Each structure stands twice: as C-alpha cells, then as structure tokens.
Structure 1
Amino acid sequence: MDDIVQAALKKWPNVPHCYGWLALDARGDWYMRDDRIQRAGPFPRVKGSRIEHDKLLAFIGRNYASDERGAWFFQNGPQRVYVELECTPWVWRLQPDGRVLSHTGREASVDTAWLDETGHLYLDTDLGFGLVHTQDMALAAEAVEARRWTPQDCIAAKLPATHQYQRRPQP
C-alpha cells in the first residue's frame, strides 16, 4: 500500500466505506459506477465508465487488497472502495516466457489450476485466485500440454465459497 494512503488512514481513520462505485470485469478492466449507472442496472450488465488513465490504474493496482471477509477493495486514501467482481478478484495474463501477471501487473506463482463446466481456466496463486484472460488460452493450453498445470474440474458458481472471495461486497 502506498505511504500516502497509510498516512491518510492514520489521519482520518473513520471515513465510511464505499460500495457499488468500482467494478472489475472478467478481462481485468476497472469500471467507475456512479449513481446513475448503479440505478441503470447491476454490474456487469451495465458496466459504467472504463478507467483508462494509466496513473490511476497503477494507483488502484498498488492499493488493491482484500479484507478478512474475502471482500476486495481499493484503498483510496482514507476511504475503502469495495469492488464488485464480474468473476474473480484476479485476472491473469500469461506471458510467452511462462510468467503469470495479474491485471494489476504483479507477478504470481501458480499453485493449482481449475477448469469449470464452460471451459474457463482459473489459477490459484500466491496472490490469490483468478481467471485466465481469454486472449491467453493458447499459452494456457501449452502449459497444460507441458504438464506445468493439471487443471482440476470445478463448478463456476461454487468458486467464491471454495476460494473465499465475495463477488458483491455488502456493508
């Protein structure tokens, strides 16, 4: 977490948490969801405004974490902004050299692989549980064929409970 964020937490320790205003889709893109967008419908049916500003994306990525309930958030100074997840808390990008990077750019080490009933591939890593990006399935297939990963079968609807994360955090 950024030093400036930790200092803000000490200075203003009782700022209310924020819910519904930030979301992460299955491709690793962040979305702002203001009141109008929230009234228009649930995420991901109504996504909101895609965040594209590089410095803001980096700031969110450095200050992205989870609480004891498995609810993921972005610590925005003194305010904790909880994240609605379309799928999982991490979206993995596979690199040609075999590395696995998160949607925030952090490198991860793979512990286990999972394959759901619709063919989505998930990785449990030292950072946590996430979905492999759809554009990286050729590299994923190479890893499976090389026996670096042996996917276990899973049911997508059971993944949040099994891997202890919340898709829609509530106050």
Structure 2
Amino acid sequence: MDEIVKLAMARWPKVPHCYGWLALDARGQWRMRDERAQALNLPGDPIRNLALQQFINRNYDVDAEGRWYFQNGPQKVYVDLDCAPYIAQLLPSQEWRLHTGQLLKAPHCLYLLDDGNLVLRHEKILAQIDDRDLSQTLDLLLVDGNKAQDEQLNALFDAADAFLQKHQVELLWQGERVPLHLSGLPALMQELAYQAQARPEQSGQVD
C-alpha cells in the first residue's frame, strides 16, 4: 500500500466507504460505474488512465469480511467482482501475471468452472485466466501424463465430470504438474469467505 495512503488513513480514519462505483471485469479491467450503470446493472466505463490503474492495483486488498476494495486515500472503495478477485494473464515466459502486475506464485490447483472458465489457486489467491489466454493454457494440459489432444479436450468440456472419473488432467507449469478439479466460482469464493459485492447494509454502515 502506498505510504501516502497510509498517512491519509491515519489522519482521516472515519471517512465513509464507497460502494458500487468500481468494478473489476473478467479481463482485469477496472471499470467506473456511475449511477446509471449501477441502476441498469451495466459494466461501466473502463478506466484507461495508466497512472490511476497502477494506483488502484497497488492499493487493492480484501478486508476481514472478505470484501475486496481499493484504498483511495482514507476511503475504502469497494469493488464489484465480475468473476474471481484476480485475473491471470499468461506471459511468453509461461509465468502468470495478475492484473495487479504481480507474478502469481506456483499454483497448487487449477479449477474448471461450470461456465468453461479456468481458475488458478495459490493459497488464498484465486485468479481466473483471461479468456484471451485460454487456448494457450489448454496447450499446457496433460491427460494421463500426455499432452492433451483436441478430442480429449472436447470430451472434457462436453462432460467434465464423466471425463475426470476416467482420466487425470493436469496443467504442466514450469516442470510441475498442477491437478485440475471441477468447481463453481461461488463455491470457491465461499470456501475462502470472499464476497463478490459489498454493500452498506452488510456491515450496518449507512454512507
């Protein structure tokens, strides 16, 4: 967290929180949602200012209640999540970079979601793979120890539960094999006590 943010928090500790104005989409874009976007449940306009993007990235965190927020000086700006709290992008070096700019440490599990998306997990970090990198990610999958073939991938996505009862699927990542499991994003979020949205009534605070 930026030092200037820490100083502002100490100087103004009781600034009301902000809800519903900032969202994170499935490609790792920060989006600003005005009242119209909130009322119509629209995604909002992407924040294109690079300095602001980087400022949000550096000061993005989760509170004790599992609500994700951006610490904007003394004010918490809570984030509406379109998917997982982090978005992972595959680099040419086959490293995973989070949308916040940090590299993801060695994932210990890969989840295939019921909507066909893939989520990496390292300890308490849940990172959905950017859909633009799904094809390259599938190239890294092994089925029963061998590179996954197109017909096997088709069978996996057509009937994942049945396929995984017969075959072991793993992600080959920097020489390590990361097992693939089935899950739904709500179940993963609940396991880690994360919330996709935060609203004042959840904490009893009226802003």
Q: Shared fold (TM-score greater than 0.5)?
A: yes
Q: Which amino acid in 2 is paired with 1:130?
A: A
Partner of 2:73: 77
CA distance in 2, matches of 1:75, 1:83: 10
- Counterpart Cα distance in 2 of 1:157 and 1:66: 17
Deviates more, 1:149-158 or 1:114-123: 149-158
**Could you say which residue in structure 2 is the equivalent of 1:144?**
141
Partner of 2:29: 29
Question: What is the CA–CA distance in structure 2 between the aligned matches of 1:149 and 1:141, rounded to whole Å?
Answer: 13
Measured against aligned partners, the alpha-carbon deviations of 1:113-158 in whole angstroms (never above 9, x if no partner) come to 1111232100112561121000111231233236332211112332
Aligned counterpart in structure 2 of residue 124 of structure 1, from 121, 124, 128? 121
- Say whether 1:103 aligns with 2:99: yes
Distance 1:93 1:127, change over 3 A: farther
Structure 1 residue 154 corresponds to structure 2 residue 183 = yes
Secondary structure, counterpart of 1:108 in structure 2: coil
Asked whether 1:11 is paired with 2:7, we answer no
Unaligned runs of 5+ in 1: none
2:73 pairs with 1:61: no
Q: Structure 1, residues 17-61: CA drift from partner, whole Å, max 9, x if none? A: 11001000111111111223222x22xxx1111100000000000
Aligned with residue 92 of structure 1, among 77, 82, 88: 88
Aligned position for 2:2? 2
TM norm structure 1: 0.91
> Do the aligned partners of 1:19 and 1:169 also contact (CA within 8 Å) in 2?
yes
Mean CA deviation greater in 26-35 or 121-130:
121-130
Aligned-residue sequence identity (percent) comes to: 39
In our comparison, the structure showing a higher alpha carbon Rg is: 2
How many equivalent residue pairs? 167
TM score, norm. by length of structure 2: 0.76
